[in-house]
Structure 1
Amino acid sequence: MIRKNLCGLLVGAAMLCLLFSSCAAAGPEDGKSDSVLMMERIETIIYGEPSKGGLVERLNGIERELFGRSLPGSIAERHAAILNFLETGTEEQPSMLFKVGVAEWILSKNIHASRPALRRLETLESDMDGDLQYGKPVAMRVERILAMLVSDPVTFRQVTLPGATVLKLRFMEELSPAKSQKGDKVRLALTDDLVVDGCLIAPRGSLLDTTVREVKKPKAFGVPGEVRLDFNALVPLGPQRLGVVTGEASKKAAEDASKRGEKGEGAIIGAGAASLAGAALLGPVGLIGGLFVRGNSIRIPEGSVTFVQTSDDVTVSAYPIPESLRVDPGTAIRQTVDEASEAEPAPDPAPAAPADKDIIIKRDRPGKPSQPAKAPKPSGGGAFELPPEQQVD
């Protein structure tokens, strides 16, 4: 009897250990609190990596960097206010990252989305007049750059991007089974501006959030290696990420590009693209598309291109391009997405443009007019508003 009771106690203790272990595994990442994780996220956006030191000290430093002073409220409220300022914006003002992206696009028709925000701002200042505004609040520095580039305030408008819109992407680094590891981020950048109804949704250089899902290294006796990628979402100017899949439209785009010989700096990766044996697009899985690469020495070189398509209709915040910055329609590919109507015949397609001038231009569907957002007050070259206090659940 004693032996049975002892065995029962030991089994119960073992189950408790397993329970505590599973609870610990389900906790915050690496045992970090939500406040620490939010702080690291903010620092990564601004500096490219987390800083060291106490949480309050780092938070005060970030607020001085951005606004020149500390914000009111609890630590959670201050974190939320900073993230809203950086990524989301308000009903009247787009986010800081939105504004930095617009400034880069106006200046060079390309954005550097993989760089930290502070480095992007310093590059803009250097390219504009070489006067780096060290010591001044970042928010004020951004408004100064915009005032130099455009006369009107940078605002946004809500537009509808149709599903099955094809996006062309370029690999910004080499990919191979030998070098990749599960969880790695892979940089794929948009090759063309994504424009709807005269509004810029995502400039050239916008990143597709891509993750290595699985890696199998090459083995002995000729067993090939494998890499599987997840294409998660395109990161546009606004806060709404665009879900993508690898459906029939993107497969056809890859096939057509391969037939035309548009290999660019690398190869066309996709269905029917024989230039890279062993690579094939995965079909859509929910809102996720992906890429499967298999082989011993096969690699995807930097500069290779692939295609995805948007998964569903989505309403996004976009930059209404002023007339002075709009592209000549004769140098753009115009894709009409109006629903077919017997009373209103479809317009003739515009002639194809050179590959280096491809700009995706679309119009909203009938019955879904784009609604302009409230115009913000003119920034006046240096004036800026602090983010409002945030309600935190």
Structure 2
Amino acid sequence: MKRAILVAGITMMLIGSVSAMEPVTLNGKMDKLDSAVFGGVQNGSLIHRVDAVDSVIYGKSRKGDGLDERVSNLYSEVIHDDEGETPSLGTRANALEYYITDGIKQTSLEERVQDMESTVFGAAKTGPLNKRINELEKEVYGNRHFAMQNIELPANTVFKIALNEDVGTKTNEEGDSVSFTVEEDVVVGNVLVLPKGAQGSGVVTKVVKPRSFGRSGSLDIAFDQVFSIDEEEIPTVLGPEAREKLKMEAAAVGASAVGALALGPIGLVGGFFVKGKDVEMPAGSTLYIQTKETVQTRGMVMVPGEPELILNEKVSSSAKQEDAKKDTKTLNETEVINLSKDEKGVVKVKNAGKTVSENNKAVSANNKDEKTEENIKKDSSKENKKESKTLKDADDISMVIVRNE
């Protein structure tokens, strides 16, 4: 296979990387969610598709009134979250599969979880994927789990890749996409950034067919980016360090000195031309690329403690407002404790139906007349003449704890 690369006569130019942008539209995010969870984009309305992903991941649909929030929350929980310390479900599945099989498959999340369950438990299970992934983690890792960690991946880090499909001058045209698989782990310290099985992509930039007088064909490919274990794009190129590694490969398979020297010119990887022949690189052909620049990214590191179960706990803003209303306390035989330095000022308030927030401001009443804080103080004073303190003494309260008895 290595010899096939060297004899193929491939000329791959060093072209600036064009990173695939994170989707910003609802359709774009749902397409990526569908592909990750089901293995391909699903038909139907956005609502139907969101409900379907929710059902598979969590066993039920998330409550909320905004599609934008629902899709964004699903995307961060399943695909990629720039800020969270807990890896997304997709990233956790990647880590599990890497740990179990020493590689990462490019099939649906459903199928991958089933395969891992069959390997670990002897049979696939049923139920929401978040719980099944959590059970796998506990069984495989024990009282440990992978956590995300910020890391600096140096420029010119060289690693081996393999083509995912056949590439050649007979079948490919300029602009065709090319995908590849990382063939070895890329680790910084003890942090795994690129696991074996990580995916990358590039594009065919030039195709020259075989010509008369025995002139061979040539093919230029830019390997633009590789995707980290956290699904972040990392720019890559075929640079000097990668070419040096290819020279070593050429020597290992017995290439001629002239052929090896052909690896030297800027931008060239090949130089092993067979006159009048098409360039053909079969799927599985291996070569080397390198990181284009130093990048701040995230990797995974094993840490103590059981893995967390990801629940569909992110809710819409309207749902949060409803929860806030439920948390409001009712002053019905409620004890208000003054937490000033002298620990005094305990007052019994019998004015049923009034509600306050934790900052001691009156916000509403069950009757139609809303009363200000001053009115509440006056009412309390009238009904509790025998009390030694009134609410006027509470002006200096730094914190009020409201307990319903």
- TM-score scaled to structure 1, two decimals? 0.64
Maintained 8 Å contact 1:45/1:117 = yes
Deviations 1:25-69 (A, max 9, x none): xxxxxxxx9333332222112222111122211211111111122
3-state SS of paired residue (1:139)? helix
3-state SS of paired residue (2:168)? coil
Alpha-carbon distance in structure 2 between the residues aligned to 1:314 and 1:240:
11
Q: 1:148 to 1:177 in 2, by over 3 A?
A: same
Residue 130 of structure 2 aligns with an amino acid whose one-letter code is A
Q: Quick check: 1:378 aligned with 2:306?
A: yes
Q: Quick check: 1:87 aligned with 2:76?
A: no
Equivalent in 38, 47, 61 of residue 29 of structure 2: 38
Maintained 8 Å contact 1:81/1:388 = yes
Q: Quick check: 1:140 aligned with 2:128?
A: no
Q: 1:38 to 1:64 in 2, by over 3 A?
A: same
Deviations 1:337-361 (A, max 9, x none): xxxxxxxxxxxxxxxxxxxxxxxxx
Q: 1:107 to 1:52 in 2, by over 3 A?
A: same
3-state SS of paired residue (1:156)? strand
Alignment partner, residue 368 of structure 2: none
Alignment partner, residue 320 of structure 1: 301
Maintained 8 Å contact 2:222/2:237 = no
Q: Quick check: 1:164 aligned with 2:156?
A: yes
Structure 2 counterparts to residues 58-97 of structure 1, below 5 A: 58-71=49-62, 72-89=64-81, 90-97=83-90
Deviations 1:125-168 (A, max 9, x none): 1211233223x111111111111100213212112111111111
Aligned-pair CA distance for 1:224: 5.4
Aligned-pair CA distance for 1:119: 2.1
The number of equivalent residue pairs is 289
Maintained 8 Å contact 2:162/2:181 = yes
3-state SS of paired residue (1:155)? strand
Alpha-carbon distance in structure 2 between the residues aligned to 1:119 and 1:282:
44
Alpha-carbon distance in structure 2 between the residues aligned to 1:150 and 1:273:
51
3-state SS of paired residue (1:205)? coil
Alpha-carbon distance in structure 2 between the residues aligned to 1:78 and 1:231:
34
Alignment partner, residue 356 of structure 2: none
Q: Gapped runs of 5+ residues in structure 2?
A: 1-23, 318-405
Aligned-pair CA distance for 1:225: 4.7
Alpha-carbon distance in structure 2 between the residues aligned to 1:64 and 1:278:
56
Residue 159 of structure 2 aligns with an amino acid whose one-letter code is L
Q: 1:185 to 1:291 in 2, by over 3 A?
A: farther
Aligned-pair CA distance for 1:200: 1.1
Q: 1:282 to 1:299 in 2, by over 3 A?
A: farther
Q: Quick check: 1:251 aligned with 2:243?
A: yes
Q: Quick check: 1:111 aligned with 2:115?
A: no
Maintained 8 Å contact 1:97/1:237 = no
Q: Quick check: 1:154 aligned with 2:146?
A: yes
Q: Quick check: 1:304 aligned with 2:285?
A: yes
Q: 1:67 to 1:212 in 2, by over 3 A?
A: farther
Alpha-carbon distance in structure 1 between the residues aligned to 2:307 and 2:75:
21
Alpha-carbon distance in structure 2 between the residues aligned to 1:126 and 1:273:
52
Alpha-carbon distance in structure 1 between the residues aligned to 2:236 and 2:176:
19
Alpha-carbon distance in structure 2 between the residues aligned to 1:273 and 1:198:
41
Q: Gapped runs of 5+ residues in structure 1?
A: 1-32, 263-267, 285-289, 323-374
Residue 306 of structure 2 aligns with an amino acid whose one-letter code is P
* Structure index of larger Rg: 2
3-state SS of paired residue (1:153)? strand
Give me the CA root mean square deviation: 3.4
Question: Once the two structures are aligned, what percentage of the paired residues are identical?
Answer: 18
Q: 1:232 to 1:292 in 2, by over 3 A?
A: farther
3-state SS of paired residue (1:91)? coil
